[in-house]
Amino acid sequence: MNNALVLTLAWMAGIALGAIFFGGLWWTVRKAYASESPALWFFGSMLLRMSIALVGFYFVSGGDWERLLVCLLGFTVARLAVMRLTRTSGENQTHSAKEASHAP
């Protein structure tokens, strides 16, 4: 198979793994907030999300560092996308900048 196609597929797999990982984290936080045992939610979710991500990276890389690197890049892109999509409507970047300016 063409190397560019393989790297593109690895990048797309990284995006899918990142969406599962960070989307699952967002879902866990929302569920654990209303739960009577949030530690169980966080621990179980962490084990499941880490297992999926590590097994996914292992199979996508196939022993090739370039595919692993591109997959990690896609994972990071998915993190940024999930952060943007799950932002509350009242949040904006200027709010965090205002908080940072009040540091001693």
Instruction: Please state, in angstroms and rounded to a whole number, the distance separating the CA atoms of residues 91 and 76.
Output: 21
DSSP for residue 36: S
Look at residue 101 and give its three-state secondary structure. Answer: coil
Per residue of the chain (104 residues), what is the pLDDT tens digit?
Answer: 789 999 999 999 999 999 999 999 999 999 998 889 999 999 999 999 999 999 999 999 999 999 999 999 999 999 999 989 888 766 555 555 555 555 55
Do the Cβ atoms of 13 and 37 come closer than 8 Å? Answer: no
- CA proximity to 7, closest of 65, 54, 77, 58: 65
Instruction: Please state, in angstroms and rounded to a whole number, the distance separating the CA atoms of residues 55 and 23.
Output: 17
User: Hey, what are 86's tokens?
Assistant: 């799950």
Instruction: Please state, in angstroms and rounded to a whole number, the distance separating the CA atoms of residues 6 and 1.
Output: 7
Q: Domain locations in the chain?
A: 3-86
Q: What is the pTM of this model?
A: 0.79
